[in-house]
Amino acid sequence: MATRAKQDSHENPFEKPSRALRHTKRTFSASPLLPVHCMLGLLRVAWWRWSSMEAKRRRRGVLDLEAQFAFFRSQHRHPVNAAAHALLAGPILFTNLLILHFLPLPLPLDPALALALAYAASYLAVDRRAGALAGLLFLGAWAASRALAARLGFALSWKLVLATHLFCWTWQFLGHGLFEKRGPTVRELPEVFLMEPFLILLQILNKLFGYESYPGFSKNVDKKMEADLSLRKSRELKQSKMN
C-alpha cells in the first residue's frame, strides 16, 4: 500500500488528461461519419453567414427615400396597377381617419389627428418640401373626415368604411396579382403602409412637375430600381431552372 501511494504521489499530473485525449481521438477517428458531420457543420455556418450578409445587403431603411421610391416603382410598373394605387390609396387613408373618430379611447389627443400627425412627421423627416405638402393634405383630410363623421354618425360611417376598403383593397390586390404579378411580402407591409401614400405623391410631383427631393435623386433611384429588377430576374431564372 505504501508503495502504491508513493507511485501515485510521483505520478505525472498531465498523464490522465493525455490518456483521456488519446481515448477521445481514438473514438472520433473510429467514427466513419465524422467527416460528414464536419462537412455539414461547415455548410450550415457558410449558409448562415451568406444569408445574414444577403439580408443585410437587401435591407432598406424605412426612411431611406431613394431605396423606398425605387422599390415602389419596381412594384408598380404596370399602368393598371399604378393607377389603382394612385387612385385608391387616398380613399383608404381617408376612411381610416373617418372610423378613428369613433374609437372610444380615453386619450387627450384625437386618434385620427394623432395618425395624421404621425404620417406628416414621417414625411417631413425624408423630404421637407414634399413632406410639408403631404402634411397639409393629411391635416385637410383629418378636418374633412371629422366633419363627415359628425354628419354621418357611426351607423353610416362604418358601412362607408367597409365598402370603401373592400372595393379599394380588391383592386389593389388584383393590380399586384393579375397585372403586376408581383407584390410586397408580409415582412414589408408595415413600411409599405407608412411610406406608400407619400411615394404616390412624390411620383405625381415628379411626373407632372419634374420635382426632385434633391439634385440627382431621380438618377440614384433609377440605378437602384435597375438593380432591384435585375435581382428579381436572376431569382426568377434560378427558380425556373430548379423547376
Q: What is the dihedral of CA 122, 123, 127, 128, to 10 degrees?
A: -90
Provide the grid cell at 242.
430548379
Q: Is 33 exposed, middle or buried (0-12, 13-18, 19+ CB in 10 A)?
A: exposed
114-128, pLDDT tens digit by residue? 999 999 999 999 999
Which amino acid, residue 137? L
pLDDT at 79: 93
| 122 CB neighbour count, 10 Å cutoff | 18
**pLDDT for 106 beyond 90:** no
Higher pLDDT, 182 or 132: 132
The domains of the chain are located at 2-57, 65-242
B/e letters for 4-31, b = 16+ CB within 10 Å, e = fewer, are eeeeeeeeeeeeeeeeeeeeeeeeeeee
Q: Which residues are CB-contacts of 61 (< 8 A; sequence separation ≥ 6)?
A: 67, 68
pLDDT at 5: 45
3-state secondary structure (DSSP) of residue 181: coil
pLDDT averaged over the chain?
80
135-191, pLDDT tens digit by residue? 999 999 999 999 999 999 999 999 999 999 999 999 999 999 999 888 887 788 888
Q: Which helix (H) or strand (E) holds 59?
A: none
